Structure 1
């Protein structure tokens, strides 16, 4: 058989030009849906172009460039479709919301207003906020930028809530401190007024007006023979007790660690001396209570006269039977054996106390 006259053998279909062109078309199609998948098919198409069909080199080069172009076109078409779909979805959502909009629906869509926790303890406020679905944070409301450790000892002054994000930030100060005028401002501590010379009742009014808590005020007496009254006792006879000395001085800031002290003296219109002593704990309101008191009437030291006019002694001291009027239990007294009564009318006698010094004791 003449080989030149023999019929040409047919090539397999997957090596044909039609198969390679189909792979190239597949690049554009798959690239429109997935760039990564289209890129893999493009690589396969390039290999097929250079291996399978009996093309010339420039045809193979053109097909390679065409595969790149087809992938780019396919990816672009896919992106365009995605953009259109997104716009359509937004448009549909907007139109749907407009179609369903109503006064009732608008009210329901508004976020709930956060509860006002100002004035509560910080730990309790955070607990309630978390129960309402909020994420709570906190910071120092003053300009000191202090670290909050024990939240139960702090009080909420300000709050800032984001109802959409469900977050709330508390600004707090220590429970004994006043809130600043704004978040991050200085603490407005009250200043000590001048109450020296005022009656106890007037001093209390001035302290209240200055913003000072009366629970932080301590009282003391100025005479050696007068007991310190309680706040209730001083208030009961508020016009008889006078402020002789004060601490701190006028104009001093009264912060959470400042102790306010009022040193009181007591007198009425019937008292001979109606003035404060020059210094605290240096004199006796009743001179006869001074252990060194001299009674010039009978010419004896520490002596006194009884009701019959004769002097007497008790335990080596003169002055038994002397009556000095109203006295305070436990105060120093003189002479030994002198008598008196308390404001309640209880009889008292001057005698040695546990420290060996003469003090007023129950008769």
Structure 2
């Protein structure tokens, strides 16, 4: 016997090799996307092949079995195969169809009326379409042609029905996005107008004309001694508040994720400072509130709009006597104990606020 004449073991057939079985598992995913029933049959065949053909360890066979099952579910779900296609159909549909075959009538030959699904969440529109005996399709209504995965987060913009084939194609955009003018067109996002220098009232009108709702707008102040107004407060004194800075800039598209902010400054004819600061949060609306303010620079005045003789102060209560006239609640004031009234006539007094500084309060 020749020890060097060793016959190699017979090779394993290709259909019992690992690559062949992996290809069979991939076939499960492909066919499940086309037909759930066909994908299920191939999955059963793949499971039998995994446990019978290859010389794999038991845990490898178990992992391949579980993987084949989940491949079938994922592929069928992404393609819409798991939708409740049968549960939403009326039970009487089959019976009505049988009666129509036996006794045709003009009413039975009439094409079914397709409901209007525009404006509805995509998942709800598809469910109602199936209940009406239609097979729904879906696609992105925007020019990006995005893949629709979470249908509950999309809204129907357009629909195209085929009554003969009993199908309806639904074109949708993500919820919160505006519908394009036509299917497959660009999203018509509103464009930010130029609001810098406008009063708050004027800015609100321009935002409304641009299609930007006030519920998307946040407000902020620009001076160190001015509190941020609420939308109600800014609207009440809309001609006194001015837009000093804005976000985003002019001619910028305001998408659903964009932040819209107006930085406001406030002044009247009685204020010394009647313009926006060069940068936000760098100056005081009332110069006397600046710790570094030099009273002698006022040329004998004791406050904004007041003189040394009348011992009074202006709208927001700077240094001076006990009667400051019309003041704004929460603004800085001096000296302690000074009095004033709001525009509505509410008596105010100058005293320590929550931050330790003197402010107007009732």
Instruction: Tell me the TM-score normalized by structure 1.
Output: 0.59
Kept after mapping to 2: 8 A contact 1:330/1:359: no
Tell me if the contact between 1:161 and 1:169 (Cα under 8 Å) persists in the aligned partners.
Answer: yes
| Structure 2 unaligned blocks of 5 or more | 1-102, 312-318
Report how many aligned residue pairs link the two structures: 252
Kept in 1: contact 2:333–2:360 (CA 8 A): no
Describe the superposition over 1:80-136 as per-residue Cα deviations: whole angstroms up to 9, x where unpaired. xxxxxxxxxxxxxxxxxxxx99xx83x652312311111222232222212211122
In structure 1, the partner of 2:152 is 152
Residue equivalent to 1:213: 213
For residue 140 of structure 1, report the CA deviation from its aligned partner: 1.9
Q: For the residues of structure 2 that align with 1:351 and 1:235, how far apart are their CA atoms?
A: 27
**Counterpart of 2:198?**
198
What is aligned with 1:360? 359
Structure 2: distance between partners of 1:305 and 1:238? 29
Where 1:238 maps in the other structure, the secondary structure is coil
Cα distance in 1 between the residues matched to 2:153 and 2:179:
14
State the Cα distance separating 1:167 from its structure 2 match: 1.7
1:156 positional shift: 0.8
Residue 110 of structure 1 aligns with which residue? 110
Superposition deviation, residue 325 in structure 1: 4.0
**What corresponds to 1:281 in structure 2?**
281
Cα distance, 1:185 vs. partner? Answer: 2.3
Secondary structure in structure 2 of the residue aligned to 1:226: coil
Q: d(CA) in 2 for partners of 1:362 and 1:355?
A: 13
Q: Provide the C-alpha distance between the structure 1 equivalents of 2:275 and 2:332, rounded to a whole number of angstroms.
A: 21
**Structure 1's 114 and 342: CA in aligned 2 closer, same or farther, altered over 3 A?**
same
For residues 331 and 145 of structure 2, what CA distance do their matches in structure 1 show? 50
What's 1:78 paired with? none
Distance 2:246 2:231 in 1: 15
How far apart are residue 193 of structure 1 and its match?
0.9
For residue 139 of structure 2, what is the aligned residue in structure 1?
139
- RMSD after superposition: 3.6
- Kept after mapping to 2: 8 A contact 1:306/1:321: no
2:332/2:360 contact within 8 Å kept: no
1:268 is aligned to 2:268? yes
Q: What is the Cα deviation at residue 272 of structure 1?
A: 4.0
Cα pair 1:142 1:187 within 8 Å, conserved: yes
Instruction: Determine whether 1:244 maps to 2:225.
Output: no
Correspondence 1:176 to 2:176:
yes
Report the CA distance shift for 1:228/1:326 in structure 2 as closer, same or farther (over 3 A).
Answer: farther
8 Å Cα contact 1:141/1:158 also seen in 2: yes
SS in 2 for 1:265: strand
For residue 313 of structure 1, what is the aligned residue in structure 2?
none
Structure 1: stretches of 5+ with no match in the other structure: 1-99, 310-318
**Distance in 1 between residues matched to 2:126 and 2:141, nearest whole Å:** 15
Change beyond 3 A, Cα 1:284–1:340: farther
Deviation of 1:175 after TM superposition, in Å, equals 2.0
SS of residue paired to 1:203: helix
Residue by residue over 1:304-357, the C-alpha shift from the partner in whole angstroms, topping out at 9 and shown as x without a partner, is: 999997xxxxxxxxx69555444444444445554444444444444444444x
CA distance in 2, matches of 1:223, 1:168: 57
Structure 1 141/242 Cα, relative in aligned 2: closer, same or farther at 3 Å? same
CA, structure 1 residues 201+305, in 2 after alignment: closer, same or farther (shift >3 Å)?
closer
Contact 1:244 1:265 in 2 (8 A): yes
Q: Map 1:1-363 onto structure 2 (within 5 A).
A: 105=106, 108-296=108-296, 322-356=322-356, 358-360=357-359, 362=361
8 A Cα contact 2:271 2:286, kept in partner:
no
